Amino acid sequence: MGKLPVIEKLIEALGEHKVLSRQQAAERIANVYGKPNMLDVKALVLPESTNDVAVTLKICNEYKQAVVPQGGLSNVVNSATANAQEIAMSLERMNAIKEVDHINQFVEVEAGVILEDLHQKVKEGGFIFPLDLGAKGSCMIGGNIATNAGGLQALRYGVMRNLVLGLEVVLPDGTILNNLNPVLKNNTGYDLKHLFIGSEGTLGIITRAILKLNPAPAFFSTAFIALESFENSRELLNRAKVFFGDKLTSFEILWPAFYRLLTNESSGNKKVMPDHYPLYVLTEITGSHAAVSSQMEAFFETALNDNIILDAVFAQQHEDRKQFWQIREKIDHILVQHDPVFTFDVSLPVSEMEQYVATVDSELGRNFDTVYNYVFGHMGDGNLHLMINCGEGNADAKDLVEKIVYAPLQTIHSSVSAEHGIGLAKKKWLSFSRSPQEIAVMRSIKDVLDPNHIMNPGKIF
């Protein structure tokens, strides 16, 4: 008797309820960002345990069948995109959160836990899991780890890489690599978990993780600031780092076009200050004492007297804080106002940012009659986002816009991706940030762990 087709083999091993057919999968969305597409895959596997993942990968490896891991599908670089020859595997059913370990301050989770659900769970125990991003209602911990997500509080707590203590990963041949260690220090050879953090599903499937928790800060102080110049925002950031130390949790910069669009009538957001200022900063400090608010006000009073800032508004209550953050986070509004929008997240030294944005603006202006460039981002972490439209319907502009945005980065030791990853969308530009030797080593690691190249083929390189 001949070999069963791979789908039948998977159904035999897992049961029909865990293997959706191409038709069943086609009823589900393939992305949460941008224009919605429906899934078009050979099949969609929905494992319920690590063992299910191992069985699936073992079979797929035997058949040299490509597998695309999927979490909340909120990536913006087509890193979880699968085609009709590929099997998608969504970790959504593996969404258990174990009890919070109060003494050692960690939590063990399955990869399909939605980030916001984790926030709620650990809050009950007086903790925070500090990764915070606009897609928190849909993105999953496995996806956050596979993309080494950054987010709004990386300035204080670091990126995902800094928040993972241990991992369980299933390798392409079905081997379960258990590194679920809850300890911070573990110098016993290569720290293998770091290979998988940021690997965009190309080396294995993350099934469980042990994550570091932090005590929930009892007090927040949030301010919207207006400034005259970028130079002043740099001075403000430096002063804030010295004055607040590790209480400084976020320092987000908003160019005026971004602020104006995100507070226009159709945005649903309230203008928290006039929209004629040259630059805005949204900043937050957190701490365990009520004094954070008075410290914040004193700090900005000095900055105002020293002519570093033009204006400041402080969140008086929770609702104000929500409104402030909504202006920064509701970036979908840009997609509603323009089509197409080309989205970028670059990383560069703060000292280079002003010149960089000016260069990009000038090149865009030289090449296109109509240009909207909305610039904002995590200035405190050296990370800017650009969302660019060069005329409605002008999808052909993409290549040129990418060249304009990425070319200046090559000479200032910067990165074409601060946090979103490479996926399919940025493959072409990887060599702007990584040397041929680095890419060769990455390829060798891929060959060792995934000799049949079944894991998320074509992504990154």
Ligand X SMILES: Cc1cc2nc3c(=O)[nH]c(=O)nc-3n(C[C@H](O)[C@H](O)[C@H](O)COP(=O)(O)OP(=O)(O)OC[C@H]3O[C@@H](n4cnc5c(N)ncnc54)[C@H](O)[C@@H]3O)c2cc1C
Q: Which residues make up the interface to ligand X (CB under 6 A)? A: 32-33, 68-76, 79-80, 91, 111, 133-135, 139-140, 142-144, 146-147, 149-151, 200-201, 205-206, 331, 419-420, 456, 459
Is residue 194 within 8 A of residue 145, CB to CB? The reply is no
Residue nearest to ligand X (CB): 143
How far apart CA 138 and CA 31 sit, in angstroms, is 10
Query: CA neighbours within 13 Å on the CB side: how many for 207?
Result: 24
Q: What are phi and psi of 163, to 5 degrees?
A: -110, -5
Q: Which CB sits closer to ligand X, 200 or 363? A: 200
How far apart CA 148 and CA 209 sit, in angstroms, is 13
Q: What are phi and psi of 347, to 5 degrees?
A: -125, 130
Distance in Å, CB of 345 to ligand X, minimum = 8
Q: Which CB sits closer to ligand X, 419 or 450? A: 419
- DSSP-derived secondary structure letter, 4: P
Distance in Å, CB of 139 to ligand X, minimum = 4
- Greatest extent of the chain over all pairs of C-alpha atoms, in Å: 85
Q: Which CB sits closer to ligand X, 164 or 292? A: 164
Distance in Å, CB of 365 to ligand X, minimum = 28
Distance in Å, CB of 348 to ligand X, minimum = 16
The SS3 of residue 170 is strand
Q: Which CB sits closer to ligand X, 140 or 236? A: 140
Distance in Å, CB of 397 to ligand X, minimum = 22
Q: Write 316-325 long-range contacts (CB < 8 A, 24+).
A: 320/222, 320/272, 321/220, 321/222, 323/269, 323/270, 323/272, 324/222, 324/224, 324/272, 324/282, 325/152, 325/222, 325/282
Q: Which CB sits closer to ligand X, 33 or 368? A: 33
Distance in Å, CB of 184 to ligand X, minimum = 23
Q: Which CB sits closer to ligand X, 140 or 390? A: 140
Distance in Å, CB of 177 to ligand X, minimum = 12
Q: Which CB sits closer to ligand X, 55 or 309? A: 55
Q: What are phi and psi of 209, to 5 degrees?
A: -150, 150
Q: Cα-Cα-Cα-Cα dihedral of 436, 440, 442, 448, to 10°? A: 180
**3-state class percentages of the chain: helix first, strand second, coil last, to nearest 5:** 40, 20, 40
Q: Which CB sits closer to ligand X, 47 or 287? A: 47
Q: Which CB sits closer to ligand X, 69 or 408? A: 69
Distance in Å, CB of 188 to ligand X, minimum = 24
Query: Which two three-digit tokens encode residue 58?
Result: 């073992």
How far apart CA 87 and CA 72 sit, in angstroms, is 16
Query: Which two three-digit tokens encode residue 326?
Result: 């909504």
How far apart CA 63 and CA 47 sit, in angstroms, is 19
Distance in Å, CB of 142 to ligand X, minimum = 3
Q: Which CB sits closer to ligand X, 80 or 164? A: 80
Q: Cα-Cα-Cα-Cα dihedral of 319, 321, 323, 325, to 10°? A: -150
Could you tell me the sign of the dihedral formed by the alpha carbons of 200, 206, 210, 215, in that order? positive
Query: Which two three-digit tokens encode residue 441?
Result: 């080593």
Element (H, E) at 167: strand 164-170
Distance in Å, CB of 297 to ligand X, minimum = 28
Distance in Å, CB of 455 to ligand X, minimum = 8
b/e sequence 125-151, b meaning 16+ C-beta within 10 Å:
eebbbbbbbbbbebbbbbbbbbbbbbb
Could you tell me the sign of the dihedral formed by the alpha carbons of 25, 26, 31, 32, in that order? negative
Q: Which CB sits closer to ligand X, 368 or 376? A: 376
Distance in Å, CB of 81 to ligand X, minimum = 9
Q: Which CB sits closer to ligand X, 35 or 276? A: 35
| Residue in the structure block whose two tokens are 């740099």 | 234
Task: Report strand pairing: 342-347 vs 279-287.
Answer: unpaired
How far apart CA 349 and CA 353 sit, in angstroms, is 7
